[in-house]
Amino acid sequence: MADLYATRRRRRCQLEEAASGSPLLDRLRRAIASVLRVGRPPKKQQRDEPAVVTTVASNGGGGAIRSNGENGHAAEDKVQWARGKAGEDRVHVVVSEERGWMFVGIYDGFNGPDATDYLVANLYASVCRELPTDDDPLPDDAGREQRRLSSSCNGRNSADLRQRGRHGAVLDALARALRRTEEGYFAEAEARAAECPELAMMGSCVLVLLMKGADVYSMNVGDSRAVLAHRAEPDLTSVIMPPRHRRQHSADGHGHVTEEIRRQFDECDMTELVALQLTMEHSTTAYKEVKRIRSEHLDDPACIVNGRVKGSLKVTRAFGAGYLKEPRWNKALLEVFRVDYVGVLPYITCKPFLRHHCLGPRDKFLILASDGLYEYFTNEEVVGHVEAFTSRFPDEDPAKYLSHEILLRAARQAGMGFHELLEVRQGDRRQYHDDVSIIIISLEGKIWRSSA
């Protein structure tokens, strides 16, 4: 057994060593660069120029793809692809060879597009400013955590402890970037309050994934999800025999038990893909979130009504949406849009859920999507559909396939045909299905994007 686990450990180390050279990043960069070349002659890309895709989702299934500068602000439009009226979802993808990372942001907006537009223009730039470089010293809090771990983990490699501290520093930087971006949005909303009071209502769910080598950092507020598909660990409970049984069968000294364990180990099912959710649900369907809001607003029995915060919003954490965070933003709205704001505490927050995951040899692909996908699929169903589709059609687009399936299910649920649903005017189609944006990242170096 020790040999078997040692072999698996060597495979993991080999993967991490390969990742440090960023072959995955190179393949993803080329994949996105090929999208940017659609509709124009091929152009040699500068080595330090990031491949950037900004997608404005539309109810018609299309979007606009623009080439942006790495500072996150729109540069000269090099590629345009648009169909239909733009919705409130935005997708922002950056592959930076200079920084050695890939950034993916999915912003699922509500009550208008301004919050998502602001996120696309500013969040990535804020992340670049906040992220520590390899030469930066660890922040004080990360240093304290490293010292605490050092004192409690005798024999642990100090380099491993420092790496754990750096993962925490990256996650803290993502949270700071989001907080400062929201502060900037509210400052702009305040400056425009007289002409656009509705900015106080606009907001967005945020899903961010940062990949650097074998490290994946995720951040979310709201109900968009990042799901990792990976091979299940084999069930070895029937393989590893009790010590007494092992002694009885090894008395002859011929190693029969070792061979039997190897045989059973080989027969274990290692092909099944399972879904690991990297994000946390921030909506009124999450019991802990509902309990938190009610405990913070004991003097407001109507803090959650009909499964919505103040009868207005299903998500319990979001970017923007100032009217549910401060009384002054609520008062700035026209009376018809105001909620009965009791007290001064916020009803919703922008405090994100953060997670680090180290990719291993069992990890196969990542699915990032707004909540519209999960109105019709469970995590396991999504993983199963993508695996089955890519196995049967390796050169086709699984993200577009999922979008097609969503429309089929939405049409069936509404009692109409698929083409009938497509003929519904885009502004009216929201009553049948929510906007949905989907990004699928294969760890073999492919990336697909679709929206519905």
* Predicted local distance difference test score (pLDDT) of residue 329: 97
pLDDT band at 31 (very low <50, low <70, confident <90, very high): low
Considering just the CA atoms, what is the radius of gyration of the chain in Å? 25
User: Rounded mean pLDDT of 293-304?
Assistant: 97
The beta strands (E) that lie in 64-188 are given as: 65-66, 86-96, 101-110
Q: Which of 13-17, 170-174, 216-220 has the lowest mean pLDDT?
A: 13-17
Average pLDDT, the chain: 76
Say whether pLDDT at 109 is over 80: yes
User: Rounded mean pLDDT of 330-334?
Assistant: 94
Q: How far apart are CA 176 and CA 183, in angstroms?
A: 10
User: Rounded mean pLDDT of 372-377?
Assistant: 91
Strand partners, 372: none
Closest CA to 448 of 378, 393, 400, 405: 400
* Predicted local distance difference test score (pLDDT) of residue 133: 74
And the tokens for 439? Answer: 């990004």
The Cα angle at residue 32 between residues 208 and 430, in degrees rounded to 5: 55
Say whether pLDDT at 354 is over 80: yes
Say whether pLDDT at 79 is over 90: no
And the tokens for 5? Answer: 């686990």
> Of 49-63, 195-209, 402-416, which one has max mean pLDDT?
195-209
Which residues have a Cβ under 8 Å from the Cβ of 33 and sit 6 or more positions away? 45, 51
Q: Which of 16-25, 40-49, 75-84, 90-99 has the lowest mean pLDDT?
A: 75-84
Closest CA to 28 of 446, 442, 337: 446
Task: Say how many CA atoms lie within 13 Å of 92 toward its Cβ.
Answer: 29
Which domains are assigned to the chain? Answer: 2-231+275-281+352-451 (3.60.40.10), 288-316+318-337 (no CATH)
* Predicted local distance difference test score (pLDDT) of residue 409: 85
> Of 78-92, 315-329, 370-384, which one has max mean pLDDT?
315-329
User: Rounded mean pLDDT of 285-303?
Assistant: 97
Say whether pLDDT at 294 is over 60: yes
Say whether pLDDT at 128 is over 90: yes
Under 8 Å between Cβ of 107 and 206: yes
* Predicted local distance difference test score (pLDDT) of residue 291: 97
pLDDT band at 268 (very low <50, low <70, confident <90, very high): low
pTM here is: 0.76
> Of 2-6, 382-386, 404-408, which one has max mean pLDDT?
382-386
Q: How far apart are CA 308 and CA 281, in angstroms?
A: 14
- In degrees to the nearest 10, what's the CA dihedral of 285, 287, 288, 291? 110
pLDDT band at 447 (very low <50, low <70, confident <90, very high): confident
* Predicted local distance difference test score (pLDDT) of residue 237: 55
Its sign, for the CA torsion 292, 296, 301, 304, is negative
Say whether pLDDT at 445 is over 70: yes
Q: At what angle do helices 114-130 and 158-191 cross, to 10 degrees?
A: 140
Cβ-based neighbour number of residue 445 at 10 Å: 15
Q: How many residues does the chain have?
A: 452
And the tokens for 262? Answer: 């190897």
Residue type, 48: D
Say whether pLDDT at 434 is over 50: yes
Q: Which of 122-136, 242-256, 335-349 has the lowest mean pLDDT?
A: 242-256
Is residue 140 within a helix (H) or strand (E), and if so which, with residue range? helix 140-152
* Predicted local distance difference test score (pLDDT) of residue 89: 85
User: Rounded mean pLDDT of 314-320?
Assistant: 97
